Structure 1
Amino acid sequence: MTSSLDPAFWSALPWTALAVVAVLAVTYGAAKVAGKHAVIDVAWGLLFCAVAVVAFVLSAGHGDDARRWVLLVLVLVWGLRLAVHIGRRSIGAGEDPRYEEFLRDRGELGIVAVVYGLQGALAWVISAPVQVGMFLDGPLGLLAYAGIAVWLVGLVFEAVGDAQLERYKALPKDRRPPVMDRGLWGWTRHPNYFGDACVWVGIFLVGADRWPGALTVFGPAIMVYLLAFGSGKKVLERRMAKRPAYRDYMARTSGFVPLPPRR
């Protein structure tokens, strides 16, 4: 960032990176035992939790305590909820078709680099607002409180959207509509991805009201891009669009930002 950051911040960076590596190592071992690399999806939220905990511990006595606690709680609540939700959903399931297609014909080294190394690097970079924010001085400002509100909107969208989809999938197939288009899913095809985006924009805003927190805007920008245009929405819809009912759903429902459904 800049020289205005406490030197302790720079000393903390190797430790937050080591925390990411540690979570990935455990995840890789769990994936080998489970026989599927989709285990990394459970670890995605935990990577951010590990970074937040290490940054919180190392920033003691350096950053504003209120901001440190807010960032820690926001990341832990989001990351742990996501890990538990994906973990419950994946019990008894086989390999994710996305990984089967993506990892076909790749050797073990390529799998480690692409699945684990890439996601670990992304989590470490995206978490920059947390790592920098932990070391920022000065009380929480209006922008930080706005960030908490945006984070809350995101968490509600993500949690409610996931719960609605779970109830839909629990219906008997003969009573289940061909596509989930009720509740939040009638306003956006991806309320969980939109919620994720809001969560990370909110976390960024908590630190952005103190310089140089605003320079970490690349973190939420990468997350939003991945969700809306990269490995999130784009990859999922490539598969789902093979179903006629889903193509009709796409024609009348916003792809990301919630909007009233079209006739």
Structure 2
Amino acid sequence: MISSPWILLLVGAIGASAMMIGVWLVSIRISNASYVDVAWAFGIAGTAVGYAFLADGSPLHRVVVGGLGAVWGVRLGTYLLGRLAGKEEDGRYQELRRRWAPNVNRAFFVFFQAQAGFVLIFSLPFAFVAADGGELTWLTWIGVAVALGSIAGELTADTQLAVWKGNPANKGKTARNGLWGWSRHPNYFFEWLHWVGWAVIAFSSPYGWIAIFVPVFLLTLLFKVTGIPETEAQSLRSRGDDYRRYQEEVSVFVPLPPKKRAEA
């Protein structure tokens, strides 16, 4: 059993890097990099379960890590896999291929290894909590409630989007049903809130305060790097004026009542 969270993180880093090399090789063979998103979700679930088995923390702490981490990662990974199976490469990755030509495979290797690094970063709270040999605190239970509520929110948003896309009359239109009428990215919002929950869970554990970095890091990614900017750019390319109106009327992140459309 491993008592140091730093050793757990080293094991997680090696495993995540090896996994992403394998997925990169598959992506070359099938000419589709979209599955890196699936690998990211399952990879984080794998670190949670792995840390839970390897760590020397209390049984309850390890159950929280393995159980809650697996529920989140397997749900998201399965959902993404269902969306991607049999489909062409996501438009975001097609755009990256265009930008990175002619060194596409080399660039994607670096990109996939960066995703392995992200897996490690998001596994920080798992390592600190799994190695904690103390008692669960009231903060832990508050964090668990926030994380579970966020998973429910993500599931609701994903289901509502699938219902919208399942109606042929909505082809080429932007989803506005349910949570999508209140936030342009409710899935991202609940994803971020989920990691806020993990920061709260980890706060009472040794070194657990470091987990506060995770939701801050995710918020930076979502607003400045690969999240919202790339997604909205692709939506504007595919849906044009319909998505521009959506941007004017609906909150970008936090679910809020939509603005009323001005009368012509």
Please confirm whether the aligned pair reaches a TM-score higher than 0.5, indicating the same fold: yes
Number of the residue aligned with 1:73: 67
**Does the aligned pair in 2 maintain the 1:71–1:203 contact within 8 Å?**
no
Structure 2 distance, partners of 1:177, 1:39, is: 24
**Deviation of residue 212 (structure 1)?**
2.0
Is residue 143 from structure 1 mapped to residue 107 from structure 2 by the alignment? no
Residues 101 and 213 (structure 1), Cα distance of their counterparts in 2 relative to 1, 3 Å cut: same
Describe the superposition over 1:190-233 as per-residue Cα deviations: whole angstroms up to 9, x where unpaired. Answer: 11111111111112211112332112211221122222443111
Q: 1:224 aligns with which of 188, 205, 219?
A: 219
**Deviation of residue 56 (structure 1)?**
1.4
Q: Which ranges in structure 2 are unaligned for 5 or more consecutive residues?
A: none
Structure 1 distance, partners of 2:134, 2:128, is: 13
**Deviation of residue 177 (structure 1)?**
8.0
Structure 2 distance, partners of 1:12, 1:71, is: 13
Is residue 179 from structure 1 mapped to residue 174 from structure 2 by the alignment? yes
Describe the superposition over 1:54-87 as per-residue Cα deviations: whole angstroms up to 9, x where unpaired. Answer: 211221xx21221211121111111111111111
Structure 2 distance, partners of 1:238, 1:177, is: 15
Is residue 85 from structure 1 mapped to residue 85 from structure 2 by the alignment? no
Counterparts of 1:209-220 in structure 2 under 5 Å?
Answer: 209-220=204-215
The share of aligned pairs that are identical, in percent, is: 30
Describe the superposition over 1:90-130 as per-residue Cα deviations: whole angstroms up to 9, x where unpaired. Answer: 1221112211211331342222012x111111111222111
Structure 1 distance, partners of 2:245, 2:152, is: 27
Residues 48 and 68 (structure 1), Cα distance of their counterparts in 2 relative to 1, 3 Å cut: same
Number of the residue aligned with 2:58: 64
Structure 2 distance, partners of 1:57, 1:117, is: 25
Give, as a single letter, the amino acid of the residue that structure 2 aligns with 1:24.
M
Counterparts of 1:1-263 in structure 2 under 5 Å?
Answer: 8-59=4-55, 62-104=56-98, 105=101, 106-114=103-111, 116-173=112-169, 178-242=173-237, 243-263=240-260
Q: Which ranges in structure 1 are unaligned for 5 or more consecutive residues?
A: 1-5
Stretch of structure 1 that moved more, 232-241 or 117-126: 232-241
TM norm structure 1: 0.90
Structure 1 distance, partners of 2:232, 2:172, is: 18
**Deviation of residue 7 (structure 1)?**
5.4
**Does the aligned pair in 1 maintain the 2:91–2:234 contact within 8 Å?**
no
**Does the aligned pair in 1 maintain the 2:140–2:204 contact within 8 Å?**
yes
